[in-house]
């Protein structure tokens, strides 16, 4: 099985071409995750990859192509993960799954390919071969510490709070941090102060509907991460939130 995540848009032909190339290798199941990632938004691709691993069979190949550096010296990669494989550009898409990487290989691209469509000419041919248990010959193993990572700080618990980063803002305006559930020891309805563009008091809730309408709250989301939300409102707009910004959750 192969999954596809791109910024190609569902209005264009590019994603369909990827599937056509894959199917030319054999009867491979293909799942479209999304082709409507905001153009060039590598962090969104990284967030999607982090959240789909583990919900597919362990031999699934996840192709993620958000690739503003296509045709440049940036490398193409195959990464063997704890569940499945990643195929795509070496530009930070693996940032949020760096601890789940087991092996990494550079793809040695053929010389007679398009300089602007490596998804078609490089990534899905490699993914198709792996999916059919035919290990590609054009791979060179490299040190996993050599891959490109986005400048996102890991969350840290300090004396006065949890320092963390915003890694995603979803379609509802929910602000998702990289703070895992096991960092959070809050009680239900406890008042927590969030230091981000000022000091904001928020209650810790179990779900969105437990907040009053337009009340800003904290909760643990379905990915087991701490999230700032607003019931029937937009927390990101309220906070003027931006991805990759740092924030602090103050501890009592």
**Fold annotation for 156-250:** Elongation Factor Tu (Ef-tu); domain 3 (2.40.30)
CATH 2.40.30.90 in the chain, residues?
156-250
Give me the architecture of the 2-146 domain, per CATH.
3-Layer(aba) Sandwich (3.40)
Six-digit token pair at 85? 């494989």
pLDDT score at 159: 86
- Could you read off the pLDDT of 94-103 as tens digits, one per residue? 999 999 999 9
CATH 3.40.50.10790 in the chain, residues?
2-146
Binning the chain into helix, strand and coil, the percentages to the nearest 5 are: 20, 30, 45
With 80 as the cut, is the pLDDT of residue 252 above it? no
The answer for 12, left when phi > 0, alpha when psi is -120 to 50, beta otherwise, is beta
pLDDT bucket at 111, cuts 50 / 70 / 90 = confident
Q: What is the pTM of this model?
A: 0.95
According to DSSP, the β-strands at 199-204 and 216-220 are parallel
Q: Where are the beta strands (DSSP E) in the chain?
A: 2-6, 30-34, 61-65, 76-81, 85-89, 101-107, 139-142, 156-157, 161-169, 175-180, 191-195, 199-204, 216-220, 225-230, 246-250
User: Which residues is 77 bridged to in the sheet?
Assistant: 88, 106
Whole-number average pLDDT of the chain = 96
| Mean pLDDT in residue range 107-114 | 92
pLDDT score at 151: 95
- Could you read off the pLDDT of 144-169 as tens digits, one per residue? 999 999 999 999 999 889 999 999 99
Share of the chain above pLDDT 70, in %: 100
């Amino acid at each position: 099985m192969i999954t596809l995540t791109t910024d190609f848009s569902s209005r264009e032909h590019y994603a369909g071409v990827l599937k056509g190339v894959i199917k030319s290798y054999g009867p491979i199941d293909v799942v479209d995750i999304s082709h409507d990632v905001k153009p060039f938004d590598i962090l969104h691709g990284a967030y999607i990859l982090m959240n789909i691993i583990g919900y597919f069979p362990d031999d699934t190949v996840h192709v993620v192509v958000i690739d503003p550096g296509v045709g440049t010296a940036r490398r193409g990669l195959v990464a063997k993960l704890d569940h499945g494989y990643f195929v795509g550009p070496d530009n930070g898409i693996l940032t949020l799954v760096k601890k789940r990487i087991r092996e990494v290989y550079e793809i040695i691209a053929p010389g007679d390919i398009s300089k602007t469509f490596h998804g078609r000419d490089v990534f899905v041919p490699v993914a198709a071969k792996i999916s059919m248990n035919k290990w590609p010959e054009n791979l060179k193993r490299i040190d996993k510490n050599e891959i490109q990572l986005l400048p996102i700080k890991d969350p840290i618990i300090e004396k006065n709070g949890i320092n963390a980063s915003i890694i995603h803002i979803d379609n509802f305006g929910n602000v998702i941090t990289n703070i895992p559930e096991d960092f959070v020891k809050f009680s239900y309805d406890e008042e927590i102060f969030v230091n981000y563009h000022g000091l904001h008091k928020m209650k810790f809730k179990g779900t969105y509907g437990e907040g009053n309408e337009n009340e800003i709250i904290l909760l643990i989301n379905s990915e087991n991460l701490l999230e700032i939300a607003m019931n029937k409102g937009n927390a990101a707009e309220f906070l003027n939130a931006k991805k990759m910004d740092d924030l602090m959750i103050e501890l009592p």
